[in-house]
Amino acid sequence: MSVTVDEHAVRVIFKNGTTIDHLREGERVSLHNQQVSPIGAVNLQQAMAWQQRRLVFKDQPLQQVVAELSSYRNGAIVIIDNVLAQHQVTGVFDANDTEAALHTIEKSLRLKEYRMTDRLVLLAR
């Protein structure tokens, strides 16, 4: 769980009792395995892109990009090569058009797409 502030400031009280008195605009804090992360700066334009249904990735593993794309479509996208899954991707995609995003990724990385059904897409080199 994470909290990102895009305007003003907030007080954060996590379920484990940890309190952040003043999380400011442009800052983020996370809770993972009952451990609170240090407060960090965040790129608000990138963090809030979901509000315009844009998916923004900067040096993210393809596996993470594909997982995010999959959440905006019916069905799954599966990478069948572990090395390919770790390939770093940077890009901005429209969440309303995951087919175009998938096509761009395929072309730029020279991938092959195998559609088993409308709901299952396999990606390989």
- On whether the CB atoms of residues 14 and 23 are closer than 8 A, the answer is no
Three-class SS state of 54 = strand
pLDDT at 61: 96
Domain positions in the chain = 2-42, 48-124
The CATH code of domain 48-124 reads 3.55.50.30
Task: Return the pLDDT at 52.
Answer: 73
CA distance 12 to 23: 7
pLDDT at 118 over 90: no
